[in-house]
Structure formats: C-alpha cells, structure tokens
Amino acid sequence: MVLKHNQTLSDLRDNHAFTGELSWIGLRPAHQGAMVMPGEATLIENKGLKGDHMANGSSKKRQVTLIQVEHLAVISKLINKNSISAENLRRNLVIEGINLLALRDRQFTIGDCILQGTGHCHPCSRMEEALGEGGYNAMRGHGGITAIVIQGGAIKIGDMVRSLPET
C-alpha cells in the first residue's frame, strides 16, 4: 500500500514524533502482593524483570507489562478521581512520550535492552478493587501492552524508549 509522498505503511509505522522515556518501574514479587518500586531493574532475556513473579518463565508472551503515563489521566477522569498511581495499575513499566499501541507487534528498546510487543494488556477484575467502581471499564483500551524480553540488561528511570524499524 503506497500512501502520499511515496511513503509505505511500513514507513509510517517506523515514524514516531518523539522518543519515549521510562518514567516508572514496578515489580510484583508475589502474584497478588505489594508492588516494589525501584529506580532501576534488570530485564532477563526470555524471562522478564528480575524480582517480578512473572520472571519465573511461566509466561511466553506476558513477561513485562507496560502502560503510558498519558493514559493515567484518562483513566482517572473516567473514574472521577483527580489522579491515580501507577502502582494501583500493577503494570511493570510506565512509559511517556511514545504511543505504546504503535509498539504492540514490534521490537523496541528501553536503554540498551530489546523487547518485543506481544499484545494488549487487558485489565483484570482487580481493577474494581484497586480503582473503585468502574475501574475495570475505565482501564479498557488504556491498559497498555505486554512484551517479551529479547535482549536483557539493566534499565533505569529516564532511559529512552525507541521503536526499532520493521525488518
């Protein structure tokens, strides 16, 4: 499919207005346990985040969960709150400045690490408990994405998030 100015759809998918940034990290050591919020963490290839319960290797497509900081304001508005904490949403990484849905089926970097977007991160029933009445529906379409770790390493708040060109 060729679009105006001889750009293909692949060209458009590779074109992002801004580079994103990692603004928050959260680990869930136990399945329904409290979140731990370090300023840095380690991504383990084919596992997930070191110290997170999902890094046990049981999930092939949901090793890391990501949400955009821009969606926090939308979700809070939909449940009539002034703000919400990323901790309440139980995602691993909060990214700002880049559309995560554009990364859903492609590879991207966080710092020197490479991840592969694998799908939507749909809300779970715990969102009613975490956010109050309507929390589940407020999260629908705003829950972020899931990813797997292709190349691990250290990540820290402030690391750049970049989409890799389609191959």
Q: Which residues in the chain belong to E strands, given as ranges? A: 2-3, 7-8, 20-25, 40-44, 48-49, 64-68, 93-96, 107-110, 113-120, 145-151, 153-156, 160-163
How far separated are the first and last CA of the chain, in Å rounded?
Answer: 17
Q: Which two tokens stand for residue 42?
A: 């380690």
Which residue type, as a one-letter code, is found at position 82?
A: N
Q: What is the DSSP string of 104-121?
A: TTSEEEETTEEEEEEEE-
- Domains of the chain from N-terminus onward: 19-163 (2.40.33.20)
Inter-residue contact 19 to 97 (CB < 8 Å):
yes
Q: Per residue of the chain (167 residues), what is the pLDDT tens digit?
A: 445 667 776 665 556 555 899 999 999 998 888 899 999 999 999 999 999 998 887 778 999 999 999 999 999 999 999 999 989 999 999 999 999 999 999 999 999 999 999 999 999 888 998 999 999 999 999 999 999 999 999 999 999 999 998 87
Q: What is the DSSP string of 24-36?
A: EE-B-SSTTS--B
